[in-house]
Amino acid sequence: MLTISSEAEQKIREVIQQEPEAVGLRIYVRGGGCHGYQYGMAFEAKIAEDDTVIELGNLKIIMDSQSAPLLQGAEVEYLDSVQGSGFSIKNPQAKTTCGCGSSFSA
């Protein structure tokens, strides 16, 4: 299953408080990017019947039925460094990734 680092969880909790309609954070994979698939994240106001939901206390991480298999075993991290800050997904299923880390091939 998808795992969330403690740093990423803390940052998600901070940011989601500013979104009163959000019930959780959706992490998804869609076609595109320079390697065929690209990651995305968005605040979600509702959960569909076929969604996979990971609950971390009162925080919900939501994945649609097509993205969940592609994210199996992946780890979401939050990096804060001199070069910048942001979320990063390490996916063991990715055969190749692009330089920016937001696109991959499976």
d(Cα 100, Cα 36) in Å, to the nearest integer? 14
pLDDT digits (tens, 9 = 90+) for 44-86: 999 999 999 999 999 999 999 999 999 999 999 998 888 788 8
- Of 70, 90, 92, the residue nearest 79 (C-alpha): 90
pLDDT band per the 50, 70, 90 thresholds, residue 98: low
Q: Which CATH architecture has domain 3-105?
A: Sandwich (2.60)
- Counted residue by residue, the chain has a size of 106
Domain residue ranges of the chain, discontinuous segments joined by +: 3-105
